[in-house]
Structure 1
Amino acid sequence: MEELYEFIGVGAGVFNLSLAALLEDKGHSNYVFLDKKSQFSWHGDMMLPKTEMQTDPIKDIVTPVEPTNRFSFLNYLQERGILYQFFNRKGHATTRKQFSEYLKWAANGIKSIQYSVDVTSINYEDNQFFVETDKGRYLRSKHLVLGCGIKLKFPACAEPKNISSYHHSAAHMKYKKKYDGRKVAIIGGGQSGAEIFYDIISNDQPESISWFSGRSHIAPLEDSCFSNEIYTPEYIAKFYTLPAEKKEKLNREFLYTSDGVTQSLSDAIYNELFENKYFLGVDTNYNVKVSSRLIEVEELNEGYKIFVKCQLTSEVSEYIVDDLIFATGYTTRYQSLLSNVSANHSELNEPEICEDYSINWRHSATNKIYVQNGAKHTHGVSDPNISLAAWRASVIANSLFGEELFKMSREALINF
């Protein structure tokens, strides 16, 4: 028996969770979110001890557009009975673990999410989408909201099809081991690479560990008041109107507002290296190498030989390592879910994203496909960030139901 819905949300990660939380008490019920995981999880294999959020927890999945929503971070603290204790903390950012527990709490209170349901194919016919799942269910819907996550990104010279046994930072806790006496290399100079480097030098005693960054320095997170103004609806509205080449330039210019290393972590790493080298007399081979780009990986019987090019001198150095960890980011994956639909609709192969986060395709007037975390090239560097998750979800909700369920704020202190 086929089930018919107004829309189906594919995936229930943090961004579709935001949409589900905002809609839960709005009187609309003919929709469903499907997720292949057995329960909600958020960066579960990157949950290093005491790692801090780069985003203010008040910018949660609902508060920026509906502060009185029952799924707010503050209401979570209140229901746990720890709101005043949270206020009493001094000088401490919210940890990723704390925010993850909040998200789990919110997910457990939302009725529209169905877990352990894997969407295996999506087809389009007769002005509706046909969604098939691994359990033999067939669902129909007028619209789709794709929040199906991201896929791991590796350098071209180190695609997983070529190398079998290294791992990505996203799975660090899954593959984490004791690195005592081992030679370790970390590729990637952003926050994830920094967190893994600090975790290993703080808790293990590797024979050597090298942290390679293609950047010219360990770039700090730009977190000033003025930098954060680009994480506002007003900036996104202005950014959306710009030509593609200017958008690309601005995204490069503002990269470190989301992809830099937090000041507290950068300081902690520096102080750890300083203390070890100059005061504890620890004979370590801990190296931070900037302007260094991985150009080749050779898999050995045990470990790897890696070739790294200095971007200042063009000199190529070789390293033999036991463990190779990539902290090289992510790319979007929603296009793969649309492969059956795009076979007859070529415009979906390189989709144009509209201002309401829907894909511009020939059936947009009647059947919309919304994309969560797939519009960085059209809406700006903030797209993968939690800061504007609630606002984007409210834009999608208003568009889905053709009414202003949520008021759109457009204030800014900078004239863009």
Structure 2
Amino acid sequence: MTTVPYDVIAIGCGPFNLGLAALADSLDDVNLAVLDSRPEFTWHRGLMFDDAMLQVSFLADLVSLVEPAHPLSFLSYLRDNDRLYQFYVREKFHPTRREYEAYLRWCATQLDSLHFGHHVADVVWDGEFFVLSVERGDRVVSLKARHLVLGVGTEPAVPAALAGLPPERFLHSADYLFRREDLLRAGRVTVVGSGQSGAECALDLLRANAAGGPAVSWLTRTQSFAPLDYSKLVLEMTTPSYVDYFHALEEPARDRLVKEQWRHYKGISSDTLEEIHDVLYQRDLNASPMASVDLQCAVAVEAAVARADGIELTLRHTDSGRTFEHLCDAVVAATGYSNRPLPFLKSVDPLVRRDAAGRWVINRDHSVGVSDDALGGRLFVANADLHSHGVAAPDLGIGAIRNATILNAVAGREIFRLPKSTAFTSFSLPR
């Protein structure tokens, strides 16, 4: 790496900052580096089921929705791996999650701007640049950048009621495949949570149950095992047109909409729900004795205690308000993710403006609002703006547009042409 100041340093290398590097790779006048503490690029390895499908189309790759002819598009990956015709004959718009990760890794090998094994320990603003203290093995180096992009991603979120359970009997769904054999040896396994991750873990356990595996309970706080709302006009809420509308709303309206629209990004694939029902139906036809299966909606975990004979969960039935006990040997928490803490920004954080709920104020171009122009450079976020940009924020389909918006803002000109209209629906009041 060079000691010359960079135009942009992106911290964290998930799909969004990887896409930023891909788009910036074609630019001669934007000097960018991406730093990640991990030794190599990986993506959701603990949930990489063989048959798990991406929930968006292959066009939601790193670049296509901005630059369809880009050499790092998904179609370019297929051509480079001599699989383009096979994909064409397959006639499925959604690649498997495993293939999408292979595509991401293929992109990563072609980008010299990525630097793994680089842990950002501290960031300060010196009046002209962001100065980063970066740990590389046993060395600490200093790097400078005019602008930063934060893409450190999320980490598993565990509810307080489950936080004290012993690790040998408890795991988050993010680690499911790493601990799968332990779960199959348990007598009774309970999955808590009903998003896509919870459904995939439950499906795998139900298949194992039908083959003589453990008893399975699948619990959710919601009123049903609800499908992802993937209808065409609803999908327009993941377009830049809707992001424009959403960002212009007042904060209370945005907060209300995020709560109401949870099925747009937290629901379960209809295909996965169909597979689960098929497994349950075939299981019902089997005359051989099998361990029990229990699916329960509208129950919330109030407490969890480790006992000698297993884990005792105290559950509250939300419709009746009554509580009851549930005993199992292992718990899988499919309870989502939360933004990672940013301890390296402790000196910059006081300069950031916050909304009424204490969250960072995020501008439409994904830059962070700061007090009185306290920073000469800009701080951008990737997928930390659900509260300001709506349900599109975590969607892979918005990644290329967000990255093009950031690079245009950094350059001060329209390097990448952004679409002017992306939805048939009119979201705002008529003029």
Aligned 8 A contact 2:352 2:370 in 1: no
Aligned 8 A contact 1:51 1:96 in 2: yes
SS, match of residue 181 in structure 2: coil
Aligned 8 A contact 1:61 1:390 in 2: yes
Task: Name the CA distance, whole Å, in 1 between partners of 2:241 and 2:40.
Answer: 35
Using the TM superposition, name which of 163-172 and 292-301 deviates more: 163-172
How many angstroms does 1:281 deviate by? 4.5
How many angstroms does 1:168 deviate by? 0.8
1:164-175 to 2 correspondences below 5 Å: 164-165=167-168, 166-175=170-179
Which of 355, 365, 372 is equivalent to 1:356?
A: 365
How many angstroms does 1:181 deviate by? 5.2
SS, match of residue 51 in structure 2: coil
How many angstroms does 1:103 deviate by? 0.6
AA of the residue aligned to 2:416: F
Q: Find the counterpart in structure 2 of residue 413 from structure 1.
A: 424
Q: Compared with structure 1, are the counterparts of its residues 222 and 186 closer, same or farther at alpha carbon in structure 2 (3 Å cutoff)?
A: same
Q: Percent identity?
A: 27
Q: Find the counterpart in structure 1 of residue 154 from structure 2.
A: 150
1:368 corresponds to 2:372: no
Task: Name the CA distance, whole Å, in 1 between partners of 2:20 and 2:374.
Answer: 20
1:276 corresponds to 2:283: yes
Task: Name the CA distance, whole Å, in 2 between partners of 1:270 and 1:213.
Answer: 16
Using the TM superposition, name which of 247-256 and 261-270 deviates more: 247-256
Unmatched 5+ stretches in structure 2:
none
SS, match of residue 177 in structure 1: helix
Task: Name the CA distance, whole Å, in 1 between partners of 2:65 and 2:94.
Answer: 19
AA of the residue aligned to 1:142: R
Instruction: Tell me the matched-pair count.
Output: 414
1:153-302 to 2 correspondences below 5 Å: 153-159=157-163, 163-165=166-168, 166-178=170-182, 179-180=184-185, 182-204=187-209, 205-301=212-308
AA of the residue aligned to 1:217: S
TM-score normalized by the length of structure 2? 0.91
Unmatched 5+ stretches in structure 1:
none
Q: Find the counterpart in structure 2 of residue 127 from structure 1.
A: 128
AA of the residue aligned to 1:414: T
Task: Name the CA distance, whole Å, in 2 between partners of 1:112 and 1:235.
Answer: 32
Task: Name the CA distance, whole Å, in 1 between partners of 2:402 and 2:300.
Answer: 35
1:58 corresponds to 2:64: no
AA of the residue aligned to 2:80: E
Q: Compared with structure 1, are the counterparts of its residues 370 and 364 closer, same or farther at alpha carbon in structure 2 (3 Å cutoff)?
A: farther
1:14-33 to 2 correspondences below 5 Å: 14-33=15-34
Task: Name the CA distance, whole Å, in 2 between partners of 1:39 and 1:303.
Answer: 37
Task: Name the CA distance, whole Å, in 1 between partners of 2:220 and 2:71.
Answer: 42
Aligned 8 A contact 1:184 1:206 in 2: no
Q: Compared with structure 1, are the counterparts of its residues 393 and 346 closer, same or farther at alpha carbon in structure 2 (3 Å cutoff)?
A: closer
| 1:17-49 deviation per Cα after TM superposition (whole angstroms, max 9, x unaligned) | 111001101213522110111111111121112
How many angstroms does 1:410 deviate by? 2.8
Task: Name the CA distance, whole Å, in 2 between partners of 1:181 and 1:65.
Answer: 48
Q: Compared with structure 1, are the counterparts of its residues 157 and 370 closer, same or farther at alpha carbon in structure 2 (3 Å cutoff)?
A: same
SS, match of residue 54 in structure 2: coil
How many angstroms does 1:345 deviate by? 2.8
Q: Find the counterpart in structure 2 of residue 99 from structure 1.
A: 100
Aligned 8 A contact 1:3 1:138 in 2: no
Task: Name the CA distance, whole Å, in 2 between partners of 1:70 and 1:413.
Answer: 30
Aligned 8 A contact 2:6 2:146 in 1: yes
TM-score normalized by the length of structure 1? 0.95
AA of the residue aligned to 1:101: A
How many angstroms does 1:224 deviate by? 0.9
